[in-house]
Amino acid sequence: MENEQPVHGSHEWLQQEIAPHLKRYEIACQCGCGFAELTPTMLEKWYQLRTGYGSPIHISSGCRCKARNDATPGASATSLHVLGDALDVWVDIHFERLYAVALEVFADSAVGFYPAHPPERLHNRLHVDNRPRYVRWTNYWNGNT
């Protein structure tokens, strides 16, 4: 049949591009439950972040079901990952540029900085979300990856 939509959770569904430079598998819950839906606001801000940075951005955590969030060390019980309204991202090069763009795109919401600590965490990472207030933080490594 023409125009048939892929089955939710199928390989074809996970390969769908849901925004420019973003496929569904990149934001899917890591437990395999199939949760892979960002809010419209996060999709728009993803596009602004990716366009502003101008190079590939890796997503280490996108959507999380409640069970996956509960099993994630250090995750907040009220994490916006559970609503598809948060991303943890990293880049191979020019992290400072990504950070500057994130501060602009998420100017009235949240940006958290997680420094690299080899060999456990090889890259600096950012957490961005759409909470309804300005929040900034740095989380230094405490021995957990």
Q: What is the DSSP letter of 119?
A: T
CB atoms within 10 A of CB 123: 15
pLDDT tens readout for residues 84-102: 999 999 999 999 999 999 9
**Token pair listed for 31:** 């437990």
* Structural domains in the chain, sorted by start: 11-138 (3.30.1380.10)
> What is the C-alpha end-to-end distance of the chain, expressed in Å?
46
For residue 98, what is the enclosing H or E element? helix 95-105
Strand partners, 114: 125
pLDDT tens readout for residues 17-73: 999 899 999 999 999 999 999 999 999 999 999 999 999 999 999 999 999 999 998
**CA 25 – CA 43 distance, rounded (Å):** 14
Are 29 and 63 spatial neighbours (Cβ–Cβ below 8 Å)? yes
The residue that leads in pLDDT, 141 or 24, is 24
Does residue 127 surpass a pLDDT of 80?
Answer: yes
* DSSP-assigned letters across all residues of 3-51: TPPPPTTSHHHHT-EEETTEEGGGTS-TTSS------HHHHHHHHHHHH
Contacts of 103 (CB under 8 A, 6+ apart): 111
**Token pair listed for 34:** 């199939």
